[in-house]
Structure 1
Amino acid sequence: MYVSEKPLKNYPWWLKPFFWSQKRRYGKVLKPGLLWARVPKLFAAVAALYGVLDRKSSPLSPELRSLITVRVSQVNWCAFCIDVNGMTLAQRSGSMDKLNALDQWQTSALFDEKEKVALEYAEAITYSDQHVTPELMTRVKTFFDEDGVIELTGLIAFQNLSSKFNAALDVPAEGFCKLPDKP
């Protein structure tokens, strides 16, 4: 890891409930949270955005959100994100099958057409040598209304922010999920 986190006692008091919640959920405070929290206002903004994107009333299903976050993380080589989001995907889908097949989503029968279009859209946004074509947007809109398109785009953009942040700082996987081999 290229930047170290500070000792917990050195963070503002108002971040402690977040750290307590992470410790309860994951058994420890996660390194990315400690890194983002080095700039508390930035941390608060990122945490608020994540909370909005992963809310129960999202027009995107929990499983689809997890598929997107893992695939974007794979493209961006973020070991931590693949690990923690892979665990969430396995929990939400009930198995490791989709996680293990995600790097071959185009040819796998495990993914339905809505998932495949969402994954194609995620890759078009994430890979710097691709872009969203009018034809792709037409296919995206067959599965998502305009608010759904905004939500999906926001999720992809957020996961690019998160995974690029963690990958750039070399945040390692923490052992939440058995990771599939790199694509």
Structure 2
Amino acid sequence: MPRISLTPPRTLLNRIGAWYSRRTYGKVLDPGQAYGHNSRVLFSYVRLEQQAAKWKALDAGLKHLAVMAAAARINCSWCMDFGYWEGVEKGLPAEKIRLVPEWRAAREAFTELELLVMEYAEAMTETEPTVTDELARELTARLGEEAFVELTAMVALENWRSRVNSAFGLTSQGFSEACEIPAR
């Protein structure tokens, strides 16, 4: 049960946001409804997401694995649900996305670089970050500084998303079910 009402005031910003959300995702996203109680926070958050969507230095697949690893570490069910759907929409292998929460046990499904990215995302997500100099050096050498900065910013952004959604008590909205292959 959410800890905040998902019926924000019917302001112009919230009505536009709901329209855009339905058009883009097929339903109104619960985080948007929660943020809708504070129009300045909602507007700033949407602008941040719009700008982050333009970052292109880091491979989209690596970026998505990092985001999913951070969400899994925080245990944000809303983020995992939406992230699975979003990954499938982007054409990423569904089985690989499904394995992210247990990537250490399923190492054979991932490349060495993907494993490093998920390790970094988890290390950054710890309440006291556990990123090591060695891990940062390895990723910077493999990705380049521009992509490394983007990776770091994306994990931080996912920490914001996951921690806010978890604090609001938001849970799955059924996005991942839309990706499942129907039984014959």
TM score, norm. by length of structure 1: 0.87
1:83-141, Cα deviation, whole Å (9 max, x unpaired):
00111112324432112221232342221122111111101110225511111111111
1:100-119 superposed matches below 5 A: 100-106=98-104, 107-119=106-118
Give the match for residue 6 of structure 1: 7
Would the aligned equivalents of 1:6 and 1:34 in 2 still touch at CA under 8 Å?
yes
CA distance in 2, matches of 1:91, 1:151: 22
Would the aligned equivalents of 1:72 and 1:123 in 2 still touch at CA under 8 Å?
yes
Would the aligned equivalents of 2:78 and 2:171 in 1 still touch at CA under 8 Å?
yes
Give the match for residue 154 of structure 2: 155
1:117-132 superposed matches below 5 A: 117-132=116-131
CA distance in 1, matches of 2:164, 2:92: 29
CA distance in 1, matches of 2:92, 2:168: 31
Matched to 2:103, the amino acid is W
Q: Name the Cα RMSD after superposition.
A: 1.9
1:6-85 superposed matches below 5 A: 6-7=7-8, 10-55=9-54, 57-85=55-83
The count of aligned residue pairs is: 176
Matched to 1:78, the amino acid is C
Show structure 2 runs of 5+ residues with no match: none
CA distance in 1, matches of 2:10, 2:142: 43
Matched position secondary structure for 1:98: helix
TM score, norm. by length of structure 2: 0.86
Matched position secondary structure for 1:42: helix
Show structure 1 runs of 5+ residues with no match: none
Matched to 1:124, the amino acid is A
Q: 1:73 to 1:13 in 2, by over 3 A?
A: same
